[in-house]
Chain A
């Protein structure tokens, strides 16, 4: 089982954020990191 498989099995999702150093992207990053189902 790969890391991705393990994440999915545990209900996690893989999310990529482009522009995370910007204003909206920064908030998106913070929000995603607080969301337990998301893996960055």
Chain B
């Protein structure tokens, strides 16, 4: 297990010959400082992509971004700016296929310690929320399937594809492989 994503150079050999990558590393807003949030969201992504691109230039890349990600950098929300910055870096990295996923609320499916009050609230109202706002929620396992399937099988989309929550839900419905 690699622990220092500030420097992924030592992964160069391990990452050679890869066909695809799914990048789900991240942190919740409020769980870390703003500086740490940017480091984890942007710097770690860029560093991993740098080494992967050098070792496996033909790899497809699925990136777990987030709803509201702002590639223009104008958002007042740090999470949105940082995810947008990471997206821009990946799209410019030179991979043949980059699939960017922007889920809204990710339903945890299995019990967990929620990171903050908002998540506790969303979990509590999820049964009603998903009916009232189906395009604002996605199950964590469904989202995972979509990221893996896109990276492994492609999506038929153009070189750099951005999937909003609605698109991810449509992708899930079209997947042929059932959840085990």
Chain A residues close to B by CB (< 8 Å): 2, 4, 13-20, 22-28, 30-32, 34-35, 37-38
User: Contacts A16-B21, A18-B22, A18-B48; is A31 near B140 (CB within 8 Å)?
Assistant: no
The reply to whether A24 and B147 contact each other, CB–CB distance below 8 Å, is yes
Would A17 and B22 count as touching, CB distance under 8 A? Answer: yes
Among B20-44, those with CB < 8 Å from A are 20-26
B→A interface (CB under 8 Å): 5, 14-15, 17-26, 48, 52, 64, 106, 108-109, 112, 140-141, 143-145, 147-148, 151-152, 177, 179-180
A24 x B64 contact (CB < 8 A)? yes
CB contact under 8 A between A23 and B108, given known A14-B19, A14-B20, A16-B22: yes
B175 CB to closest chain A CB (Å) equals 10
Set of chain B residues within 8 Å of A24, measured between Cβ atoms: 24, 64, 106, 140, 143-144, 147
Which of B15, B23, B144 sits near A27, CB closer than 8 Å? B144
Nearest B residue to A26 via CB reads B144
Residues of chain A within 8 A (CB-CB) of B179 are: 31
A7 CB, min distance to chain B CBs, angstroms: 9
Q: In the complex, which residues of chain B have a beta carbon less than 8 angstroms from the beta carbon of A37?
A: 152
Contact of A31 among B14, B64, B109, B145 (CB under 8 A): B145
User: What distance in Å separates the Cβ of A40 from its nearest Cβ neighbour in chain B?
Assistant: 10
How far is A18 from B145 in the complex, measured between Cα atoms in Å? 15
Q: List 11 A-B contacts (CB under 8 A).
A: A16-B20, A20-B24, A22-B26, A23-B106, A23-B112, A25-B24, A27-B143, A28-B145, A28-B148, A31-B148, A35-B152
Rounded to whole Å, the gap between the CB of B82 and the closest CB of chain A is 15
The answer to whether B18 touches A15, judged by C-beta atoms less than 8 angstroms apart, is yes
